[in-house]
Structure 1
Amino acid sequence: MKENFSDTVRVSGRGDTKAKAFADALNHVQGTVLKSSPHILLRIEPQDVQVVQARVQVKKEAFLFFFLRRERRMFSVELDVTVNVTAINLDKVDFVAH
């Protein structure tokens, strides 16, 4: 009934700092695993994280084209996360009719 299996999911995230980009990507792990598994999930444990792609986009801005010049950075990452999943396989549960 209870099963353990390992899976690798690819997630991506964006943010105005490196930490926010990684946090955004890691927040998508649970939803991605839920979509790919037909079982009832009890526990999802990340085991390994590999960076597939990390980018930074720099935009230069100015107020009225001349004043208050600044650079805005947007970070984006794409990660391969290996997770160990503990789940309940509903196909192995016997339901009895009353």
Structure 2
Amino acid sequence: MNTSERTLRLTGTGPTKERAFGAAMRQVQSAATGEADGIAFRVEPLSLDVLSAVEHRRTERFLGILFARKRVHFEITVRVRVRVTSLDLDGVDFAVREERLTPAQHLLHMR
């Protein structure tokens, strides 16, 4: 079992603050396991820092002058420090069991 700590920088966007933050947090698992040595089975967040949070506002108009409406879009960038526990499968010894079927058993298992 290997344990390592990593710092990830993630960005999330969305129409609300909650969705932007949720989009960034959904990336933690895949980003941490993508860099892991072996198979990661535990990703434990240790700290979270917000690096930037931006609210984008714009006004849209139909035909340039009619029906003005305001659009809001949020973007958040966070730095997450995680501890990843992984298992290296190359170090695991697997026992080999070979099974031989008779021709009748082989026909019964075929579907």
TM-score, length basis structure 1: 0.83
Which amino acid is 1:46 matched to?
Answer: P
Structure 1: gaps spanning 5 or more residues? none
Query: Once the 2 structures are TM-superposed, how far is the Cα of residue 67 of structure 1 from its aligned partner?
Result: 4.2
Greater relative contact order, per chain length (Cα 8 Å cut-off, separation 6+): 1
Counterpart of 2:109 in structure 1 is none
Which amino acid is 2:12 matched to?
Answer: G
Counterpart of 1:79 in structure 2 is 78
Distance 1:5 1:70 in 2: 49
Count of residue pairs the alignment pairs up: 97
Query: Of the two, which has the highest radius of gyration?
Result: 2
- The answer on whether the counterparts of 2:4 and 2:85 sit within 8 Å (CA) in structure 1 is yes
* Structure 1 residues 31-42: aligned runs within 5 Å: 31-42=30-41
Question: Could you give the per-residue CA deviations for residues 48-87 of structure 1, whole angstroms, max 9, x where no partner exists?
Answer: 1111111111110233444442211110011110111111
Look up the SS of the partner of 1:38 in the other structure.
coil
Structure 2: gaps spanning 5 or more residues? 98-111
Counterpart of 1:57 in structure 2 is 56
Counterpart of 1:22 in structure 2 is 21
Which 4+ residue blocks in structure 1 deviate beyond 6 angstroms?
none
TM-score, length basis structure 2: 0.75
